[in-house]
């Protein structure tokens, strides 16, 4: 009886358990600054994984994904700051607004493909940025909306859990990101996820098999925006501030680089890419303000030397080791 698959599953479960325990223990070992950095990494990991649903699984590269991140952040920030809505109302409202925006943009963008799709998503995102920048009475213009309050979770039995502290907010984000990641994994391993892979490889073949390709792409487009919007809602609570920069093309390019750096089509790759980019940004910005220049250099090096991303490099190295091991056993 072949026990190798069972051993691999046990090893994966063991690594997952170690990772979860490590994440739970993190607040006891990190200062408030590095704990905040860990929160930012988790939020951008979800943001990058949401884009990977489009880029890595559906084969639709977008330069406007920040629109849904920013729209959700503005919606949640405005409702929390000006109307005093609690997190159970403001956060779902932000996600819903991101989904509605994506549904509208998708009706226009999905009429195109390839480089035209890339450019129209960029243009639509800039429209959203222009509205946020110009509608000063609502959005605060380029000054943004400061002092967005962190929420308190109202629980049953009249209990309340304040998220004002870094440790409490860290655990809130950890639970939220874990649930969102499990949902994303469930989507990509479902028949819907495999249909997206088929569309990425050959739309003509999927059409010949009877699949409604446009409908699948539209649903993927909206789902990706939902998870990006969720990340945006968490980010506005974390940062306690929202500005038009949340919707800017530089933000879209940054998250696209996270996907490419980590490895598209893997989910874990974009999460790794997000952690690396956020860490580099915080380290390098202490020495220079030319972060976008560094971002461009990183992109060039990844495109030239690691086209499959960091996870792709690791998988190729692992495959080569296995081949050498098998070759030694056979010789």
pLDDT per position as a tens digit, 135-185: 888 888 888 889 888 887 766 655 667 787 888 899 999 999 999 999 999
Q: Where are the alpha helices (DSSP H) in the chain?
A: 4-25, 32-52, 66-82, 87-109, 115-134, 136-139, 166-188, 191-201, 203-208, 213-239, 249-262, 268-284, 291-305, 309-330
Q: Of 104, 106, 124, 95, nearest to 58 (Cα)?
A: 106
Give residue for tokens 């009249």.
158
* Mean pLDDT value across residues 183-205: 91
CB atoms within 10 A of CB 177: 22
- Burial of 122: CB neighbours in 10 Å, binned 0-12, 13-18, 19+: middle
Q: According to the model, what pLDDT value does residue 1 have?
A: 45
Using the predicted structure, report yes or no on whether residue 42 has a pLDDT greater than 90. yes
Q: What is the DSSP letter of 209?
A: T
N-terminal to C-terminal alpha carbon distance within the chain: 24
- For position 159, what pLDDT does the model report? 62
Q: Any idea which of 4-18, 217-231, 246-260, 293-307 has the lowest mean pLDDT? A: 4-18
pLDDT grade for 322, boundaries at 50, 70 and 90: confident
pTM score over 0.85:
yes
């Amino acid at each position: 009886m072949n026990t190798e698959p069972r051993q691999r599953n046990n090893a994966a479960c063991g690594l997952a358990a170690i990772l979860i325990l490590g994440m739970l223990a993190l607040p006891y070992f990190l200062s408030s600054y590095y704990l905040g950095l860990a929160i930012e990494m988790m939020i951008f990991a979800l943001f990058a994984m949401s884009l990977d649903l489009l880029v890595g699984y559906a084969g639709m590269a977008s330069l406007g994904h920040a629109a849904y991140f920013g729209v959700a952040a503005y919606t949640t920030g405005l409702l929390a700051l000006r109307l005093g809505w609690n997190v159970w109302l403001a956060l779902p409202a932000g996600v819903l607004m991101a989904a509605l925006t994506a549904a509208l943009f998708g009706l226009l963008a999905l009429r195109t493909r390839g480089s035209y799709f890339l450019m129209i998503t960029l243009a639509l995102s800039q429209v959203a940025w222009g509205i946020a920048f110009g509608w000063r009475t609502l959005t605060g213009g380029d000054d943004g909306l400061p002092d967005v309050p962190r929420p308190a979770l109202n629980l049953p039995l009249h209990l309340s859990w304040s998220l004002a502290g870094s440790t409490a907010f860290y655990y809130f984000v950890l639970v939220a990101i874990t649930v969102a990641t499990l949902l994303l994994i469930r989507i990509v391993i479902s028949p819907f996820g495999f249909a997206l892979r088929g569309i990425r490889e050959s739309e003509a073949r999927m059409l010949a098999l009877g699949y409604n390709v446009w409908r699948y792409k539209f649903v993927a487009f909206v789902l990706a925006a939902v998870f990006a919007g969720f990340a945006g809602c968490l980010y506005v609570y974390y940062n306690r501030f929202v500005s038009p920069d949340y919707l800017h093309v530089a933000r879209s390019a940054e998250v696209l680089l996270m996907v490419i750096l980590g490895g598209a089509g893997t989910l874990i790759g974009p999460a790794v890419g997000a952690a690396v980019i956020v860490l580099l940004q915080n380290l390098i910005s202490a020495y220079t303000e030319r972060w976008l220049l560094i971002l461009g250099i990183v992109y060039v090096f990844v495109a030239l030397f690691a086209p499959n991303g960091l996870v792709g490099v690791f998988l190729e190295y692992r495959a080569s080791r296995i081949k050498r091991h098998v070759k030694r056993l056979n010789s």
